Amino acid sequence: MISHFKKIAEEFSIAEKQVSTTVELLDEGATVPFISRYRKELTGSLDEVQVAGIRDRIEQLRELDKRREAILKSLTELGKLTPDLEQQVKDAETMTALEDIYLPYRPKRKTRATAAREKGLQPLADLVLEQNKIDLQAEAAKFIDAEKGVNSEEEALAGARDIIAEFITENAECRGTIRELFLEKGKFESKVIEGKEEEGIKYKDYFEWSEPIKTAPSHRILAMRRAEKELILSLDVCPPEDEAKAIIDRLFVKGNNASADQVRLAIADAYKRLLKPSIETEVRLLTKRKADDEAIKVFAENARQLLLAAPMGQKRVMAIDPGFRTGCKVVCLDEQGQLLENTNIYPHNGAGGVAEAAKTLTHLVDKYRVEAIAIGNGTAGRETETFVRGLNLNGVMVVMVNESGASIYSASDVAREEFPDKDITVRGAVSIGRRLMDPLAELVKIDPKSIGVGQYQHDVDQNKLQTSLDDTVISAVNAVGVELNTASKQILSYISGLGPQLAQNIVEYRNKNGAFRSRHDLKKVTRLGEKAFEQAAGFLRIRNAQHPLDSSAVHPERYALVEQMAKDLNCRVEDLIKDESLRKRIQLQKYVSETVGLPTLTDIVQELAKPGRDPREQFEAFSFTEGVNEVSDLRVGMKLPGIVTNITNFGVFVDIGVHQDGLVHLSQLANRFVKDANEVVKVHQKVEVTVTEVDVNRKRISLSMKKDEEQGAQRQRQGDRRNQQQKGKAAPETDMASKLAALKSKFS
């Protein structure tokens, strides 16, 4: 058995030393963002995806080791452990292989085979399995024993067949071969349950459906399983029966005599009663896990893109949570997102309401010098947008904001703590406004499962999903960095090395002592020790701090190094930040040491050029087509602007302003073959789409992002020219995230 470090290194195509060092750092409590950002020399510049992959794989292998030890202990206690069996257990590389080996010895409830053994029929089963030419009836007669419940030769042979059937079912080679056959050549078949056609109209595509298990995509597997759970469909795993039985025959039938005939009978019984149901269950579980992994990957990537959506920044914002009958809740926020005033308007309740609403909004815009108005995209959103734009508020940007999850936030403990004397509608409007200012800071307050991205997120393994989403949020928060003196405890809790309690302690210290003046003041916070400071400091920013590097991503452990650079150039650190010509004079090689290499030095110089730079894109205003507010307003052929709200394995959902997202199928994303929608679009991206079909009854809008034929042909010609230019060059590096996802699936 090769070492875990060597195994992981081979799987990830990296050096064994990179793996061992990364695992050592993880075991010491270092976080993934900290390792990938500030320990590049030790890991060989592994990125976050690679570090997280190593973390997950070593945990998986350690769990395998724990199970291996438990099995060896059990086999020893049972007196079944032989040198050969011990080696098999030690050589097993997956949990499935390990459980297959252990299955015949695992304590189990009473079965037909155990009952037959209790009747003393094991020797007869062994004799039959040898399949020699014998007088089978005479041999069976020897086991007749009325006291034990064996009253005839046939009863003795039936018991022997039960023992053989269980032996066949528990044989590791047999199980592995049949399992592989099911996965490679089996099919999923679904049918609508009689009388459920109307109720299950959204699953119409699967009413009579057959698809190879091997190629079934995750979204269809999850859809069929959900429909099965809702009692709309029956879903079956259908293997190639004849081929399966032929394989088992080859494994266990050795001759052509009476004993072999008994073995064939046992095989038929084993397959139908034991092996087929067992492997079907395993296949359903394996394909569910694979589908979960794919869906979780999609969800995590969508969540990351949404979290990293462009912020408008610190502006004075009015936010409106629209409504028809109950009116629109209006709030005004200052540049830091603090609530200044809230009120209600009723622009959809007749002429009087319109006039009063216009007067109120105009007054508030002037009073608080509002720079932007955020309008939730829910019920009455488009109508409210039309009303607000009609006021012609000069210099005020009007933006529709995705309000998914705002209601979840408004009813949460976080919202109640922040606004104890406000009702949920006010809290929801505040959340809409803050999302416009800084999506990341606001969305971290909401369970990621509630922010409206992903596919079948409520059907997948919730523990795996939560782990993946936590990783995603932590990665996004630390990639952007956090302003220490204004950050909420929710966003601080995701900073490397902190967590909820230290985040709370930081806020309490800030409230009691005022703003932090330097990063080193963090050490005064209760229970925030050296280790937590090391992990967190580089991701926390202090605007206008005493030390110029406190507003950057340069870690405090490297301040002395930067100060030495400045000293060598006879200037101050502030001068290095302001003057590009000074930075160009820095000779990086001069500062290479045992602990600091060129990767870190390069990062430092880049950070000096743009201290605390925000990696998110610049904010751009967006508006939907006027007059297109409902599905009934759509016509085939319309070209409309839209915003990508969700990316799945089968296509992209786009909000075009009609309260129902349209779908751009994978085949309609471009004038070329697209395997992964992420190649073409990102969540929250502005796109132009063409309406290709509207199905009001099924609430489906089909869209296309394909360009006109001439544009498509032109793009194709340009692509051909680029391909010619690139001919002979090395292929681009394989996407590591996809590689890790494949590895995770392979070894789960």
Q: Which helix (H) or strand (E) holds 566?
A: helix 559-568
Q: Residue 732 pLDDT > 50, yes or no?
A: no
What percent of the chain stands above pLDDT 70? 94
- CA atoms of 298 and 677, how far apart (whole Å): 10
**Looking at domain 317-437, does it have CATH number 3.30.420.140?**
yes
pLDDT-derived band of residue 632, with 50, 70 and 90 as boundaries? confident
The fold of 631-706 is OB fold (Dihydrolipoamide Acetyltransferase, E2P) (2.40.50)
Q: Are 246 and 239 in contact (CB under 8 A)?
A: no
**pLDDT above 90: residue 717:** no
User: Are 317-437 and 631-706 in the same CATH fold?
Assistant: no
550 close to 519: Cβ distance less than 8 angstroms: yes
Contacts of 438 (CB under 8 A, 6+ apart): 311, 312, 313, 337
Question: CA nearest 124: which of 91, 157, 85, 171?
Answer: 157
Domain ranges of the chain: 317-437, 631-706
Q: Could you write out the three-class secondary structure of 473-507?
A: HHHHHHHHCEECCCCCHHHHCCCCCCCHHHHHHHH
Q: What amino acid is encoded at 24 in this protein? A: E
Pairing of strands 339-345, 233-238: unpaired
Q: What is the average pLDDT across 178-184?
A: 96
Tell me how far apart the alpha carbons of residues 282 and 180 are, in angstroms, rounded to a whole number: 11
Q: What pLDDT score was predicted for residue 659?
A: 84
* pLDDT (average), residues 460-484: 91
Q: Please give the span between the terminal C-alpha atoms of the chain, in angstroms, as a whole number.
A: 18
pLDDT of 535 over the 90 cut: yes
Say yes or no to pLDDT of 302 above 50.
yes
Q: What pLDDT, on a 0 to 100 scale, did the predictor assign at position 2?
A: 67
- pLDDT at position 459 is 85
Res. 95: pLDDT tops 80: yes
The confidence score (pLDDT) of residue 728 equals 39
Residue 270: name the closest of 137, 125, 101, 95 by CA. Answer: 125
Query: Residue 711 pLDDT more than 50?
Result: no
Kindly state the average pLDDT of the residues 539-547. Answer: 92
Strand 639-647 with 686-695, pairing: antiparallel
**Residue 700 pLDDT grade (very low, low, confident, very high; cuts 50, 70, 90):** confident
Mean pLDDT of 225-240: 94
pLDDT score for 37: 95
Residue 130: per-residue pLDDT: 94
Is 399:373 a contact under the CB 8 Å cutoff? yes
| pLDDT tens-digit map of 117-140 | 999 999 999 999 999 999 999 999
Of 519 and 728, the one with more pLDDT:
519
Comparing CA positions, the residue from 382, 378, 361 lying closest to residue 630 is 382
Residue 715 has pLDDT above 60, yes or no: no
- Residue-averaged pLDDT of the chain: 90
Which pLDDT tens digit goes with each residue over 408-430?
A: 888 888 889 889 999 999 999 99
Q: Which of 175-189, 285-299, 649-663 is the most confident on average?
A: 175-189
Residues 141-151 have a mean pLDDT of: 93
**pLDDT of 734 above 50:** no
Q: At what angle do helices 16-27 and 48-78 cross, to 10 degrees?
A: 80
From 173-182, 259-268, 554-563, 607-616, the region with the lowest mean pLDDT: 607-616
User: What pLDDT does 569 receive?
Assistant: 94
CB-CB contact of 664 with 705 (8 Å) = yes
> What confidence score (pLDDT) does residue 733 get?
38
**% of the chain at pLDDT higher than 90:** 74
Q: Is the pLDDT of residue 748 over 80?
A: no
How far is residue 308's CA from residue 480's CA, in Å, rounded to a whole number?
A: 8
Residue 187: per-residue pLDDT = 96
Of the two residues 696 and 682, the one the predictor is more confident about is 682
Gyration radius of the chain's alpha carbons = 33
pLDDT at 501: 96
Instruction: Tell me which residue has tokens 């034991």.
Output: 274
What are the E-state strand segments in 531-618?
540-541
Mean pLDDT of 585-607: 93
pLDDT in tens, 248-287: 999 999 989 999 999 999 999 999 999 999 999 999 999 9
Mean pLDDT computed over 290-297: 91
Residue 726 has pLDDT above 50, yes or no: no
Whether residue 213 contacts residue 187, with contact meaning beta carbons closer than 8 Å, is answered with: yes
